[in-house]
């Protein structure tokens, strides 16, 4: 699984010009599911995301408090393009991406794992849909995680 995390002060995702998911302070997660990924990886990645310390403490230093410490939200957007490879030519190769139905099942499981970790609000996009994502990156803070 490949995940691109952006710490945001707000974010939303639209499908057909309608907001389908939105959050305030927290993380916007773009999730790519690769062939061979499993539920154990999804669970470990969810635990890691929730425990990351990317929010400032009372002294203002970044990396002091976790998402749970600040009662933050998460917006998860499926993004198969994170499976893209550019080894040859200029056309991306997405053959590493998991088959769509299995990927959707694992995506859903990942979202459920975030919810069981105690995240106050977990919003999502629409798996496989053409989406427009808006965000205000806070920091900016952007991290890539892989399991």
Residues making up the chain, counted from first to last? 147
Q: Which of 79, 110, 124, 127 is catalytic?
A: 79
Q: Which of 80, 113, 124, 127 is catalytic?
A: 80
Per-residue pLDDT at 60: 83
pLDDT tens for residues 17-30?
A: 999 999 999 999 99
**What's the whole-number mean pLDDT along residues 84-103?**
92
Tell me whether residue 80 is one of the annotated catalytic residues. Answer: yes
User: In order of start, what are the domains of the chain with their CATH numbers?
Assistant: 2-138 (3.50.80.10)
Per-residue pLDDT at 28: 98
**What's the whole-number mean pLDDT along residues 27-54?**
97
Tell me whether residue 79 is one of the annotated catalytic residues. Answer: yes
Residue 20 CB coordination number (10 Å) = 16
Per-residue pLDDT at 88: 85
Q: Which long-range contacts (CB under 8 A, 24 or more apart) does 22-25 make?
A: 22/75, 22/123, 23/73, 23/74, 23/75, 23/121, 23/123, 24/73, 25/70, 25/72, 25/73, 25/138
What is this structure's pTM? 0.95
Tell me whether residue 81 is one of the annotated catalytic residues. Answer: yes
| Residue 86's pLDDT band (cuts 50, 70, 90) | confident
pLDDT tens for residues 47-84?
A: 999 999 999 998 888 889 999 999 999 999 999 999 99
């Amino acid at each position: 699984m490949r995940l691109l995390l952006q710490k945001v002060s707000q974010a939303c995702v639209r499908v057909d010009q309608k907001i389908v998911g939105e959050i305030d302070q927290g993380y916007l997660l773009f999730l790519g599911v690769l062939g061979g990924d499993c539920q154990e990886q999804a669970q470990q990645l969810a635990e890691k995301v929730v425990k990351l310390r990317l929010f400032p403490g009372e002294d203002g230093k970044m990396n002091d408090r976790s998402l749970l410490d600040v009662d933050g939200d998460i917006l998860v957007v499926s993004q198969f393009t994170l499976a893209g490879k550019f080894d040859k030519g200029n056309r991306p190769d997405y053959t590493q991406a998991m088959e769509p139905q299995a990927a959707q099942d694992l995506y859903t499981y990942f979202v459920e794992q975030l919810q069981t970790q105690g995240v106050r609000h977990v919003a999502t996009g629409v798996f496989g849909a053409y989406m427009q994502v808006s965000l205000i990156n806070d920091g900016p803070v952007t991290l890539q995680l892989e399991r």
